[in-house]
Amino acid sequence: MAFSRDEVIDVSWRYSADHQALRSRRTHFSEKWLMNVIAKFSGGLQSRLSNDRKSILQKRRVNELVEFLTPRSVQDSDKAGRSSGSLTWRLSRGEIGLSQSQAADEPFVIVPKPEEYSSKRLKICYDASSDTSRRGAELKQGFKAYAFKSTNIIRKVESDWRMAYLARQPATSQAELSWKVQCNAPGTIKKLNLRAPRTEFESGQVRFSVTVDGQTDASVPEYYVRNFSPSDHNPNAQVIEITATLTGGQGANAWQHTQLFRESIDSPCSNAFELEIEFH
């Protein structure tokens, strides 16, 4: 049901792709009784309106009824989920959408472009305040734009504290986010520079690891690492993967006790993630 200052409308049909199935579930009251109740409420609200306003509402209502006669087909845009309201509220209503509620996404491998080979440098950045990812001059929306894997990771905005960050989905005990760079022969990886701010509360733990050509080479003890050289162990390294693992925390808000790239939404890029790869 939808309510406004001028009318009450049954909008169930607008959100249905199968009217027959919808009608079979509407058994508490008869359709005729419901229509009469809606008409009574709308009539009361419109009693104070001018004839011109009533005419506009009547024409709009006729157009909506014609629209409702044909069930809607589901479009990709319908799968995005509600964007307004708190995350907890949207989760409780099942309106978070496929893109955030699914456990994992299709892997994305970063393959250096010719200009990146020429400059011998590749740089990926993510800013939580604007939820944008950058690769050189290329700007994309969302933290998953260049991510290899994302499992149980969401972006959280705290409107009261004016902060934004990545965290685990509520009611999950572990989450992972990773980036993977794969060179084409004869390119090889020379150095890694990593800026990966993390925030931990209570017993929450955020751990970063670096894997080179399938072998875990090192864990990242600090949020800022410069000149990590996989060539010290593998001079022909062509694949490098950086993985963040979020675990721990206490109580109902344990998922918020492990945070990535927390920063003020009023200070963009003040605590952004940066991944820089140098090539031989």
Place of tokens 């845009």: 77
Query: For residue 111, what pLDDT is reported?
Result: 93
Instruction: Please report the beta strands in 128-204, taking only residues with DSSP state E, as ranges in sequence order.
Output: 132-135, 138-141, 149-151, 153-158, 163-168, 174-182, 189-195, 198-200
Give yes or no for a contact between 149 and 105, defined as CB atoms under 8 angstroms apart. yes
- State the first-to-last Cα distance of the chain, in angstroms, to the nearest integer: 63
**Beta carbons within 8 Å of 277's beta carbon, 6+ residues apart:** 112, 121, 122, 123, 181, 189, 191, 192, 193, 240
Distance CA 29, CA 69 (A): 21
At residue 35, φ and ψ (nearest 5 deg) are -65, -40
Query: For residue 128, what pLDDT is reported?
Result: 93
pTM higher than 0.75, yes or no? Answer: no
Task: Provide the token pair at 47.
Answer: 């009693």
Give yes or no for a contact between 252 and 200, defined as CB atoms under 8 angstroms apart. no
Distance CA 137, CA 145 (A): 14
pLDDT in tens, the chain (280 residues): 788 888 888 877 666 777 777 777 888 878 888 888 888 988 888 888 898 888 888 888 877 777 766 666 655 445 445 555 555 555 445 555 544 434 446 789 999 999 999 999 999 999 999 999 999 889 999 999 999 999 999 999 998 889 999 999 998 999 999 999 998 877 788 888 888 899 999 999 999 888 888 877 666 666 566 667 765 667 788 899 999 999 999 998 999 999 999 999 888 777 789 999 998 8
